[in-house]
Structure 1
């Protein structure tokens, strides 16, 4: 692993991903990855073969591609709107010696041209909140863009996933349970069949925090499988054994 001394800029920090032995550059003034991204990378099933093509939309500082790099020998492309986040992801890529396997680009998900060849898998940790939901809108612009549909709506990122996937390609995403009906309707309208769901709870006695979704493009009816739930924290306020395994390994 490259020495981080020359790669960090003022105000930045390194966050360590113990299970994969990777370090991610982050800056608290910008949107930083959360447990949602960790859960999505764990949930996603990607081909292991070297010829696999994977695309991560709304990539932020790149945590999902970095985590997926431990699960596949294929190449992973990542698109992020915010230049500062792309810059951090690119330097993290150098830091972890993954420049030959991961490509981070600044771009607008809405206007991407279809790739050739198409992708086997698309992952997305999209903005969750509609712009009318002022109560939960973060005051920092970087956070607002990442969390709210300021520049990218549900319909737009689903349409782009459809454009980039080959027939029977898979989309893995994480979303808010209170908008699951919107997500399901949009996916079905775009030609996806929803194949697998998994709900994650902050604590066992709370409502679900996020829902993880696997959908197949133009794959016909697959039957819906609901996985056992993930509980993040125990009554002692510490990670549950399952969550520790996701973060740190068995």
Structure 2
């Protein structure tokens, strides 16, 4: 692994992914990855083969590609709107010696051309909140872009996933349960079949925090499987054994 000393800029920190033994550059002035991204990378089933092609939309500082790199020998492309986040992801890539397997690009998801060849898998941890939800809108623009549909709507990122996927390719995403009906309607309208769901709860006695979704484009298998739920925290405010295994390994 490359020495971090020459790659960190003022105000940045390193967050360590213990299970994968990788370090991610983060900056508190920008939106940092959360447990949602960790859960999505764990939920996603990606081909292990070297010829596999994977695309991560709304990649932020790149945590999902980094986590997926431990599950596949294939190449992973990532697209992120905010240039500062792309810069951090690229330097994290150097730090972890993964420049031959991960490619981070700055760009607008809406304006991407269809890839050739198309992708086997698309992952997305998109903005969750509509722009009309002012109560949850962050005062920092960088955070608002990551959390709210300021530049990218549900319909737009689903349409881009459709454009990038080969027939029977898979989309894995994480979303808010209170907008699951919107997500399902949009996916079905774009030609996806929803194959698998898993709800994650902050605590066992709380409502679901997020929902993880696997959808197959054009010709996918019929039938919906709902996985057992994930509970993040136990009564002692510590990670549950299942969550510890996701973060740290068995």
Normalized against structure 1, the TM-score is what? 1.00
Counterparts of 2:205 and 2:138, CA distance in 1: 27
Query: What secondary structure sits across from 1:5 in the alignment?
Result: helix
Deviation at 1:222, TM superposition (A): 1.7
Which residues of structure 1 form unaligned runs of 5+?
none
Deviation at 1:220, TM superposition (A): 4.2
Counterparts of 1:87 and 1:191, CA distance in 2: 34
Residues 62-88 of structure 1, C-alpha deviation per residue, up to 9 Å, x if partnerless?
000000000000000000000000000
2:158 equivalent in structure 1: 158
Residues 190-235 of structure 1, C-alpha deviation per residue, up to 9 Å, x if partnerless?
0000000000000000000000000000024520000000000000
Residues 41-94 of structure 1, C-alpha deviation per residue, up to 9 Å, x if partnerless?
000000000000000000000000000000000000000000000000000000
Question: Is 1:235–2:232 an aligned residue pair?
Answer: no
1:28 equivalent in structure 2: 28
Deviation at 1:39, TM superposition (A): 0.1
Counterparts of 2:98 and 2:220, CA distance in 1: 36
Counterparts of 2:222 and 2:67, CA distance in 1: 27
Residues 12-55 of structure 1, C-alpha deviation per residue, up to 9 Å, x if partnerless?
00000000000000000001000000000000000000000000
Residues 121-142 of structure 1, C-alpha deviation per residue, up to 9 Å, x if partnerless?
0000000000000000111111
Question: Is 1:74–2:54 an aligned residue pair?
Answer: no
Counterparts of 1:222 and 1:115, CA distance in 2: 27
1:167-246 mapped onto 2 (5 Å cutoff)? 167-246=167-246
Counterparts of 1:118 and 1:177, CA distance in 2: 30
The runs of at least 4 consecutive aligned structure 1 residues that moved more than 3 Å come to none
Deviation at 1:115, TM superposition (A): 0.1
Counterparts of 1:163 and 1:47, CA distance in 2: 20
Deviation at 1:120, TM superposition (A): 0.0
Counterparts of 2:69 and 2:163, CA distance in 1: 23
Counterparts of 1:175 and 1:196, CA distance in 2: 13
Deviation at 1:158, TM superposition (A): 0.1
Residues 163-187 of structure 1, C-alpha deviation per residue, up to 9 Å, x if partnerless?
0000000000000000000000000
Counterparts of 2:220 and 2:214, CA distance in 1: 14
Instruction: Indicate how the Cα distance of structure 1 residues 49 and 14 shifts in structure 2: closer, same or farther if over 3 A, else same.
Output: same
Counterparts of 2:194 and 2:238, CA distance in 1: 32
Query: What secondary structure sits across from 2:188 in the alignment?
Result: helix
Normalized against structure 2, the TM-score is what? 1.00
Counterparts of 2:118 and 2:163, CA distance in 1: 8
